[in-house]
Amino acid sequence: MGFFSPDMEFLIDIYQSETTDLIEELNKYLMEAEEKNRLEADAINGIFRVVHTIKSSSAMMGMADMSTCTHHLEDLFFLFRENPSLLKGRENETFDLLYAYSDYVKDEIERVTEEDFQPSQVTELMDRISGELDCCREKKPGVKDGEMWQSGEENGIVPEDEPKENFPAAVQRSAKDALFDTIRLQIRLAEKCQMENVRAFLLINQIKEMCSSLVYRPEDLEAEGAAFQIRSHGLYLELVSDRIGEVTDRLSSSPYVASVREVTENEEETDEGAQEREGSVKEISARETQERRASDRAASDRAASDRAASDRAASDRAASDRAASGRAASERGDSRESASDKNTGRETASSGSETGQNGKAVAELPVNAKSAKNSSILWERIVKLQEVTGELITEHTVLDSMIEKLGNPKELENFSLTFRRLLTDLEELVNSASMMPVSAIVPQLYRTVRDICKKEGKEVKFTVEGEEIEADKNLMDTMMTPLIHLLRNAIDHGIEAPKDRLLAGKDAEGKVTLEVNSEEGTLVFRVKDDGSGMDPQIIMKKAQEKKLLTKDADDYTREEIVNFILVPGFSTMTEANEFSGRGVGMDAVRSAVEELGGVLEVYSEKGQGSEFVMQVPVTMTSVDSIHFMVGDVNCLIPAKSIERIYSMAEVSGQLSFVDGRELFQGSRMLPVLRMREVFGMPKAEEGEPEHLLVLQGIKSAVCIAVGQMIGQQTAVKKELPELFDSAYRGQTGISGCAMIGDGSLGVMLSAEKLIQLYQKGLEEDARAKHNQ
Amino acid sequence: MQEQNTINRPKDGLVIIRQGETFYGIYSSRVLEIVNEPRITAMPKQPDYLRGLFNYKGRIVPVLSFGKLCGEERKEQERVCILFSLHHQTMGMLVEDVTKMIYDEGREIPCSEEERIRDHICIRKVLMETVPVFVLDLPEVIKRLGTAART
């Protein structure tokens, strides 16, 4: 039996996804604050709001330690909110504390879906937060534990003269605003939606910024039995809002809300009187919502000037807090809304001037738009959609083949063309949905740089160029590991200690830059540093010791020498440290890049710095491919990789052997790979058609000798099962498989993998010969 | 192979496979589908125990030869593919025939010395009606494949 009960499983996913988004938001605030070396009011409010939400949702999920720890942090940020000067001189400690908290939550949240999950101990972090809290309290005496925001600050500003007993669970703001009537709503949640109290909490969060006063029952959503009460009687809201249409729209559009009904005063259902009161309860219809909206706008206009005057005094103090907290809340609302809109195809409920604030907030902090895309639940759906689209395209290929067999009847051909156009539209949509900007991975990279600098005592200015470039999320996720590796290496091996830099006539602060560009169907990641660079002499010495040379040492260019660091197990470090030096890093980077069909290049100048360039092809759902045979194996290769196709008879005079390697003399001399040999098949029989394909990779080219050419088709690449591992793919040049016209499977070849296959064979032969 | 009927096994049915003259059983909870004469694509340089790949609802699944595992491969006779799920992976296994599905645990009987070869892949031997059936231990089958792949 795990920590959570089985019927909470799908809520765990939501909790995980939302908390992950919140931690990303926290990290974004942190990254920006650390760059400025201060926490501004917006960031303090934003962080306060983040931790407040994590505290509440964790409590509801029964994560007591996380909730308590977060509660302490919330207390600390309450103090900072009240008195930002408390932060002065304590910025670095606060950043460290927040990063430690972010790590703790992230680790816990990553594990919550594990079957045997148990919350971990958090004593040390709790002590650190308590220590900070005590420290701040000493500076601001009179505030006791847990007292700080219970006066109503938690959710907004409560006017002092408001009779609190009438608003037992109030989200109140400017409640004196009597220009709008109090509306009482009963929200019925969908049957079996489970965790009704969590749903209620999220609903209230979504609408509270639109209400000048909001009271809800059950009062304590965290209390035992709250979920049951909501399930039995509904959630009751008593609210005042000048945007009531929008409020009801927002409530009705929630996927877990079954109905939203207006009820009369004192009409709340009790255990004794739970029967429906149809006469006095009315469903809020779409038409009525529209009418309400129109009336809202008219009333808003009328009330605007009066309200402005009467509210000004009360709201001045609240304005900055509300703006910040409101923004965070509405951003989260927007994120959910955009996800929901995508799923249901509904139009966004917010519109006109009232969306101005939300729209601006999202624009200011694009991380939230990205967060919605990052949501694991939403991402799973996109992946599923990609798979289904791929299947449709594959089936269309089979359909085309059938139509061809029938002699291409005009009607069927036209139908197929229309079908294909629709599929292309769908594919484009799905591809665009799976894209994410480079900016989404920046906080994690920044964090890596920060941590190494702290531990190594180095000063680095890390910049990212091309943050706006978008790429497929899978590709970006795969690139994270090599990028982190390169950044670690750049700081650990490249950037010198500040005093050494000053001695070398450089700024004490080193520069590490990540540049991302999109070039001809590929993404290029450049990691540059202005550190010490690599010493070719040391690398050459190590290469000689390891017997890696394939020719005389003097024949090596500087670039070739530097590229020795990509050989497995190569490291010039005499000692390994926490970050690097074990000789596994660069090989792992190269493997990851090659696995994606990309190339890795290294440039370095001693004393000036190094540059690592990773160029990987952009992934697409479908690719135009050329279909041919190698023996009885159906093969496909992306058409864009093929430069020329020759009949073997046509070019037989241009083939020759040099040092046992077959070469083709066309416009340039290119190596030839006989695919039958690569696949371990016997030589072609007499009379079997043979062709020579010239393949162009990212940097190099190769020719492959194949059998019969079949034609061109759209192919959807499918991953090979785990049994066909990277070693297998490296030995065969096969990157995946795809369905061909007759419905059977063909193998997908990769030009880059074939080039790598040839080069590795060449290197091994040369090394063996040289070391003889 | 244990002679006592003490193994903690799921209470589900057995899919009975015939391979030559021998009968084997796989717990039905593992079985996703049974496909007659599937279209299998052989891969270049594929491991010996593999027959190729099969497109199962858009997912590419490796298909093993059960005969090869038992050391009794008769390639032409293996026409039925049992798709099963193990350790979050879907795999196929080509067998000669699937005879029936039985919701009966049968009566455990001891193995003879000649049957020891099956100890590696079978949990136990049971008597179903009058027919002896070797119950397969699929995790062990996959483990053996892993060993075969490494060697």
Contact B103, B128 (CB under 8 A): no
- The reply to whether A23 and A134 lie within a common domain is yes
Helix axes A751-771, A585-595, angle to 10 degrees: 140
> Does the pLDDT value for residue A365 go beyond 80?
no
Helix axes A286-344, A41-60, angle to 10 degrees: 90
- Average per-residue pLDDT in chain A? 77
Could A721 and B55 be called an inter-chain contact, meaning their C-beta atoms sit closer than 8 Å? Answer: no
- Residue A7's pLDDT is what? 59
- The reply to whether A187 and A140 lie within a common domain is no
Give CA separation, A479 vs A106, A482, A484, A578, A724, in Å: 20, 6, 9, 21, 22
CATH number at residue A225: 3.30.70.1110
- Average of per-residue pLDDT across A491-516: 92
Query: A374 vs A378, which has greater pLDDT?
Result: A378
Q: Residue A5: pLDDT band by 50, 70, 90 thresholds?
A: low
Residue in A678, A679, A721 closest to B60 by CB? A721
DSSP A275: S
Fold of the B14-150 domain: OB fold (Dihydrolipoamide Acetyltransferase, E2P) (2.40.50)
Q: Residue A342: pLDDT band by 50, 70, 90 thresholds?
A: very low
- The reply to whether A609 and A644 lie within a common domain is no
Q: What residues of B are in contact with residue A743 (Cβ under 8 Å)?
A: 39
Portion 365-404 of A in contact with B at CB < 8 A: 387, 390-391, 394
User: CB-based contact (8 Å) between B50 and chain A?
Assistant: yes
Could A680 and B44 be called an inter-chain contact, meaning their C-beta atoms sit closer than 8 Å? Answer: yes
Residue A371 lies inside a defined structural domain of this protein: no
| β-strand partners of B55 | B60
Calpha distance A273→B75 (Å, rounded): 73
Going from N- to C-terminal start, the domains of chain B cover: 14-150
Closest CA to A113 of A15, A192, A193, A25: A15
- Residue A225's pLDDT is what? 79
Could B53 and A721 be called an inter-chain contact, meaning their C-beta atoms sit closer than 8 Å? Answer: yes
Contact A106, A23 (CB under 8 A): yes
Contact A247, A205 (CB under 8 A): no
Considering its fold, how many domains does chain A have in total? 5
- Residue A304's pLDDT is what? 40
Each residue's pLDDT tens digit, A112-133: 887 778 888 888 898 889 888 8
- The reply to whether A577 and A684 lie within a common domain is no
Portion 85-104 of B in contact with A at CB < 8 A: 89, 91
**pTM of the complete model beyond 0.80:** no
For the ranges A395-399, A579-583, A596-600, A628-632, the maximum mean pLDDT occurs at: A628-632
- The reply to whether A651 and A630 lie within a common domain is yes
Contact A738, A636 (CB under 8 A): yes
By CA distance, what is B145's nearest residue in A? A723
Residue A368 lies inside a defined structural domain of this protein: no
- The reply to whether A487 and A602 lie within a common domain is yes
Q: Write down which residue in A566, A601, A617 finishes a domain.
A: A617
Q: Residue A158: pLDDT band by 50, 70, 90 thresholds?
A: very low
> Does the pLDDT value for residue B150 go beyond 70?
no
Q: Residue A192: pLDDT band by 50, 70, 90 thresholds?
A: low
Residue A599 lies inside a defined structural domain of this protein: yes
- The reply to whether A357 and A393 lie within a common domain is no
Q: Write down which residue in A570, A595, A617 finishes a domain.
A: A617
SS3 A63: coil
Calpha distance A112→A697 (Å, rounded): 43
Contact A110, A17 (CB under 8 A): no
Q: Residue A147: pLDDT band by 50, 70, 90 thresholds?
A: very low
> Does the pLDDT value for residue B2 go beyond 60?
no
Helix axes A123-139, A91-111, angle to 10 degrees: 150
Cα first-last separation, chain B: 26
Each residue's pLDDT tens digit, A273-309: 444 433 333 444 444 544 455 454 444 444 444 433 3
- Residue B119's pLDDT is what? 58
- The reply to whether A406 and A317 lie within a common domain is no
CB pairs under 8 A, 24+ apart, for A119-124? A119/A3, A119/A63, A119/A64, A119/A65, A119/A66, A120/A65, A121/A65, A122/A65, A122/A66, A122/A69
Amino acid at B36: N
Each residue's pLDDT tens digit, B35-84: 988 889 999 998 888 899 998 878 899 998 888 877 776 777 888 999 98
Calpha distance A255→A190 (Å, rounded): 8
Could A737 and B53 be called an inter-chain contact, meaning their C-beta atoms sit closer than 8 Å? Answer: yes
Q: Write down which residue in A389, A417, A433 finishes a domain.
A: A433
- The reply to whether A247 and A116 lie within a common domain is no
Calpha distance A602→A560 (Å, rounded): 9
Residue A175 lies inside a defined structural domain of this protein: yes
Residue A506 lies inside a defined structural domain of this protein: yes
Query: A312 vs B119, which has greater pLDDT?
Result: B119
Ramachandran bin of A695, using left for φ above 0, alpha for ψ from -120 to 50, beta for the remaining angles: beta
Q: What residues of A are in contact with residue B55 (Cβ under 8 Å)?
A: 718, 739, 745
Q: What residues of A are in contact with residue B42 (Cβ under 8 Å)?
A: 633
User: CB-based contact (8 Å) between A727 and chain B?
Assistant: no
Residue in B45, B50, B60 closest to A718 by CB? B60
- Residue A658, token pair as written in the block: 């040099």
- Residue A250's pLDDT is what? 78
Q: Residue B147: pLDDT band by 50, 70, 90 thresholds?
A: low
User: CB-based contact (8 Å) between B131 and chain A?
Assistant: no
Q: What residues of A are in contact with residue B61 (Cβ under 8 Å)?
A: 721
Calpha distance A272→A289 (Å, rounded): 32
By CA distance, what is B87's nearest residue in A? A722
By CA distance, what is B50's nearest residue in A? A723
Calpha distance A338→A332 (Å, rounded): 10
Each residue's pLDDT tens digit, A609-664: 999 999 998 877 788 999 999 999 999 999 999 999 999 999 989 999 988 889 99
Low-confidence winner among A70-79, A370-379, A663-672 (lowest mean pLDDT): A370-379
CATH number at residue A101: 1.20.120.160
- The reply to whether A660 and A562 lie within a common domain is no
Give burial (CB, 10 Å; 0-12/13-18/19+) of B144: middle
Give CA separation, A349 vs A250, A286, A293, A633, in Å: 6, 11, 11, 55
- Residue A312's pLDDT is what? 39
Residue in A390, A719, A745 closest to B41 by CB? A745
DSSP B49: T
* Kind of pairing between the strands at A599-605 and A522-529: unpaired
Q: Residue A703: pLDDT band by 50, 70, 90 thresholds?
A: very high
Contact B69, B49 (CB under 8 A): yes
- Residue A154's pLDDT is what? 39
SS3 B78: coil
Cα first-last separation, chain A: 62
- Residue B80's pLDDT is what? 92
- Average of per-residue pLDDT across A521-548: 89
> Residue B101 belongs to what H/E stretch?
strand B97-102
Could A721 and B61 be called an inter-chain contact, meaning their C-beta atoms sit closer than 8 Å? Answer: yes
Q: Residue A9: pLDDT band by 50, 70, 90 thresholds?
A: low
Could B41 and A743 be called an inter-chain contact, meaning their C-beta atoms sit closer than 8 Å? Answer: no
Contact A485, A571 (CB under 8 A): no
Residues in chain A: 772
Q: Residue A200: pLDDT band by 50, 70, 90 thresholds?
A: confident
Low-confidence winner among A233-247, A482-496, A526-540, A637-651 (lowest mean pLDDT): A233-247
> A358 is in which domain, residue-wise?
164-270+278-329+353-362
Calpha distance B113→B135 (Å, rounded): 17
Could A630 and B62 be called an inter-chain contact, meaning their C-beta atoms sit closer than 8 Å? Answer: no
Share of chain A above pLDDT 70, in %: 76
Contact B56, B90 (CB under 8 A): yes
Could A737 and B60 be called an inter-chain contact, meaning their C-beta atoms sit closer than 8 Å? Answer: yes
Q: Tell me how far apart the 2 most distant CA atoms of chain A are, in Å.
A: 100
Q: Is the ipTM of this complex over 0.90?
A: no
Closest CA to A514 of A532, A530, A501, A529: A529
Residue in A394, A718, A731 closest to B45 by CB? A731
Q: Residue A166: pLDDT band by 50, 70, 90 thresholds?
A: very low
- The reply to whether A175 and A307 lie within a common domain is yes
CATH number at residue A719: 2.40.50.180
Contact A368, A334 (CB under 8 A): yes
Residue in A679, A737, A744 closest to B45 by CB? A679
Query: A256 vs A471, which has greater pLDDT?
Result: A471
Could A745 and B61 be called an inter-chain contact, meaning their C-beta atoms sit closer than 8 Å? Answer: no
- Residue A22's pLDDT is what? 87
Each residue's pLDDT tens digit, A449-500: 988 898 888 999 999 999 889 888 888 888 998 999 999 989 988 899 999 9
- Residue A336's pLDDT is what? 34
Residue A367 lies inside a defined structural domain of this protein: no
Calpha distance A581→A412 (Å, rounded): 63
- The reply to whether A633 and A751 lie within a common domain is yes
